[in-house]
Amino acid sequence: MVRGRVSRLSVRDVRFPTSLGGHGSDAMHTDPDYSAAYVIIETDAEDGLKGYGITFTLGKGTEVVVCAVNALAHHVLNKDLKDIVGDFRGFYRQLTSDGQLRWIGPEKGVVHLATAAVLNAVWDLWAKQEGKPLWKLLVDMDPRTLVSCIDFRYITDVLTEEDAYEILQKGQVGKKEREGHMLAHGYPAYTTSCAWLGYSDDTLKQMVLLKVALSDINWHRFKVKVGADVQDDMRRCRLIRDMIGPENTLMMDANQRWDVPEAVEWMSKLAEFKPLWIEEPTSPDDILGHAAISKALVPLGIGVATGEQCHNRVIFKQLLQANALQFLQIDSCRLGSVNENLSVLLMAKKFEIPVCPHAGGVGLCELVQHLIIFDYISVSASLENRMCEYVDHLHEHFKYPVKIRQASYMPPMDAGYSTEMKEESVKKHQYPDGEVWKKLLATQENQV
């Protein structure tokens, strides 16, 4: 039973100095510090439960997202949680359609990242009050209630409420069996952690060896970062392909590095390494550019994957309409939380495009596992050409970290959205006053 009036909303700037080890580095983001705007929602309910929400950033700029969260707070404070979830579509639209704040969006950029953090906290609290992990809350929800959480504005030319309801109704068939399959076997994952662009050859070899030969997880899907130098990419891809063998799956990620002709030319040279897809080959806003690349790579057997920096459901709608991608990558913190991700999952189902979520960031694995498990059980009903990204760092900072078994995400069983961080970790990594940052900033100051 949903209960309580929101009495407090706070937000903290939490940063992890991942740039020191080159973790997360790619052709466009060479020195990321994986970070989060960390939202906490409290109510006056006697149970004392709190909702935790995050949105992912790369260090600098997190303070801007924090400001945006605070600017949205008045839409949440003193609201009954029952009223929020009882008209979730209306509440979503209230956050995204503020008559003044929407001017610095609308439904994109910093203000949308802040919206995601706030809504993620609401979903976490709702699931906790129901005593269920978020994926189970969604799976058990009747189709009409699920549909009522979605804002269909701007996408009804592709997906109407009735379309969504029909898809979810069809998903009821075999749902119990698919849930059992998830509980027994989990959702297929792939690893990105072995081949960040900033890794030296020795580190890269060590990481791949750990994943292939020494790991009891049995990885057989790998992703490598490309895009800085074609000759270096060929050398690194050859090294990785030789280590993982021809039978394992390799994906490539350019992180928006190329213009359209450059992407086609570059991938023609990397085609010999048999990648399943090239991810983010160009600007995330260039729908027609993605379509041109997609068409050009068909003869090479290479698909196009994108989505981690797609602002909203409208961009995804256009990518699908333009046949611009073969693999759709949702992000739990860039879109407007669960609400907007539901609309994208349903559009992907309508177009029969597999969803392979982005999870390369602090907390993203924890969150997106819920969405993709729900997608399999209640929407897509398929595991064909589907997998979810996994990076194996920073999980130790979360109260309910992901569990990987035999290269698969095992469904989380703790109530909530798995968003809660350990308070000790938050205090140490809060910027700029946490213990970790005080030391690092003092060191940097002494080096000037």
Distance, in Å, from the CA atom of 380 to the CA atom of 375, rounded to the nearest integer, reads 6
Q: CA dihedral in degrees (116, 118, 119, 121; nearest 10)?
A: 120
Backbone angles phi, psi at 356, to 5 degrees: -130, 90
Active-site hit among 112, 128, 132, 358: 358
For residue 145, which phi and psi values (nearest 5 degrees)? -65, -40
Q: Which 8-state DSSP code applies to residue 279?
A: E
Which residue in 248, 314, 299, 308 sits closest to 281, CA to CA? 308
Beta carbons of 62 and 37 less than 8 angstroms apart: yes
CB 325 within 8 A of CB 305: yes
CB atoms within 10 A of CB 173: 10
Range 346-373 burial, b when 16+ CB lie within 10 A, else e: bbbbebebbbbbbbbbbbbbbbbbbbbb
Q: 370, 377 in Cβ contact below 8 A? A: no
Q: Are residues 271 and 41 in contact, defined by beta-carbon separation less than 8 angstroms?
A: no
Q: Please indicate whether residue 220 is annotated as part of the active site.
A: no
Peptide bond into 261 cis (omega under 30): no
CB 283 within 8 Å of CB 254: no
Of 122, 116, 95, give the one whose Cα is nearest residue 4. 122
* List 132, 223, 225, 317, catalytic entry: 225
397 is catalytic: no
Cα separation of the two ends of the chain: 56
Instruction: Return the C-alpha torsion angle 21, 27, 33, 38, nearest 10.
Output: -140
317, 394, 324, 383: which is closest to 359 by C-alpha?
Answer: 394
Distances (CA, A) of 405 to 118, 345, 395: 31, 25, 15
Catalytic residue numbers read: 225, 358
